[in-house]
Amino acid sequence: MHRRRFLMGAGAVGFGNSPVQALQKLTPGMTPPPFSRTGLDGKPVTLAAFKGKVVLLDFWASWCAPCVIAIPHFRDLQARLRGRGFQVIGLSMDDSASEARAAAIRLGVNYPVVMGDAKLAIEYGGILGLPVEMLVGRDGRIVSIWHGETPPAVIEKAVRASLG
Amino acid sequence: MRFSLLLMAPLLFIGLAAKPALAATDIIPASAQIQPAQLAGELKATPPTILQVGFSKLYQQAHIPGAIYAGPTNSETGLTALKAEAEKLPRDAAIVIYCGCCPWNRCPNMDAAYTTLKAMGFSRLRALYIADNFGQDWVDKGYPTVTGQ
């Protein structure tokens, strides 16, 4: 038997069951949950290591067409803005690391990629659809969050504004 | 991340083979689609059998109460899981499949799941129309949701 917890949403229909947990959505101004994981290349990746930089967290998966379309833009941003203190970190929601690794190689990803999981996703307010991008400023606080397919120019504009 | 060319060559081939389809979800007729509000209503009365045919990490975070995980149907493994679950059901069972990983017209799972179940002879098959994703179109609307394996 699996233990299940009910999520609470505004206007949630109870069906006789009491909601006992709500997804705590992250919003701009909040500090993103820390994480420490091994990257697909075997190197450790911690969010804390990039403190002082502008960080773009990209929740993606190899099966997500909009995610795959966006990655070349992130790769390009990483190459052009690395010297100004910009860092992309990919968080793959693929079921297996081998799928994520193959896609990362195919797409020429030039930034660290770690495997995400349901626990981390819930800590980040629920990654219930892809892609999700989160921009973190030099002060370690969330600047912007984008859900779904977002024009690259919108993200780049926000990145540049955060870089100052 | 740097990989040698020797390492990249075979993985590149694998990666291309696994490239996600960009095709829209266009084979599920409107008459077989059910809107989130309608399904939420049915859950209060006579719930259909609900099969989540998307990705496990999405299901683990949040899914519709009673939904059975049977995916991801963009892979042979997932289709096998779907068929195994479906074999337990009578062919006239009311079934709703859903995913919500991506916008409806980008979903890599729904077409395959629908086609497979239709081919198995299910006569009361419907697909939950999720326009953008499960978070925005179901959870954020306040419809019932549980989390777990």
Residues of chain B with C-beta less than 8 angstroms from the C-beta of A3 = 148
Cβ-Cβ contacts under 8 Å for B130 (sequence gap 6 or more): B36, B98, B99, B100, B104, B107, B137, B138
Q: Kindly state the average pLDDT of the residues A62-87.
A: 97
For residue A137, tell me if it sits in a domain: yes
For residue A126, being part of any structural domain is answered with yes
Does residue B111 contact residue B25 with C-beta atoms inside 8 Å? yes
- Judge whether A27 lies within some domain: no
Residue A15 domain-assigned (yes or no): no
The model's pTM: 0.85
- Asked whether residue A26 is assigned to any structural domain, the reply reads no
Question: Could you list the residue range(s) of the whole structural domain that residue A78 is in?
Answer: 36-163
Question: Is the four-CA dihedral A93, A98, A99, A100 of positive or negative sign?
Answer: positive
pLDDT 10s digits, A13-71: 333 333 325 678 999 999 999 999 999 999 999 999 999 999 999 999 999 999 999 99
Q: Could you say which of B16, B20, B62 has the minimum Cβ distance to residue A64?
A: B20
Hey, which residues 20-49 in chain B have their CB within 8 Å of chain A? Answer: 20-22, 40, 43-44
Mean pLDDT value across residues B75-95: 97
Report the residue of A7, A21, A38, A122 to disrupt the B interface, i.e. the one with the largest count of B CBs within 10 Å: A7
Q: What is the ipTM of this complex?
A: 0.84
- Domain membership flag for residue A129: yes
Domains of chain B: 25-139 (3.40.250.10)
Structurally, how many domains does chain A consist of?
1
Q: Tell me the CATH number at A49.
A: 3.40.30.10
Residue A20 contacts B where some CB pair is shorter than 8 Å: no
CB within 8 Å of chain B, chain A residues 79-98 = 93, 95
Does A70 lie at the interface with B, CB-CB under 8 angstroms? no
Q: B63 is written with which tokens? A: 């899914």
Residue A7 has pLDDT above 60, yes or no: no
The alpha carbons of chain A give a radius of gyration, in whole angstroms, of: 16
